[in-house]
Amino acid sequence: MDADMMIPEPWRCGDCAHHRRCSALIRLTGDEPHCDFAPSRFRLDTIGVLARLVNEAGLVMTFEGEPVTADELRGIGRGIVHEKMRAALTRKAVQP
């Protein structure tokens, strides 16, 4: 395994923002300590990591005093991505 394919500790393949797309292309468990692409395309999915901590480690996050579930965190992350994409498409549509 080449050094440029290794994912930094303590992260794993399943913590990557690209995990769903890669899993559709090749069989992955999410526990791999390396990226199958060379050089590595690993990008930490911060919303996904927070959601995993809420589920597995018992982390409690609140918004305005109310607890936020892992599914709500993932929904927030998807909403941010969709909004960024919509804004980018709008800018391209209005630029000459």
Residue 93's DSSP bridge partners are none
CA-based R_g, the chain, Å: 16
Query: Is the whole model's pTM more than 0.75, yes or no?
Result: no
Q: Where on the phi/psi map is residue 64: left (φ > 0), alpha (ψ -120 to 50), or beta?
A: left
**pLDDT tens-digit map of 21-38:** 888 888 888 889 999 887
* Residue 90, both tokens: 């709008």
Confidence tier at 7 by pLDDT (50, 70, 90): very high
Confidence tier at 55 by pLDDT (50, 70, 90): confident
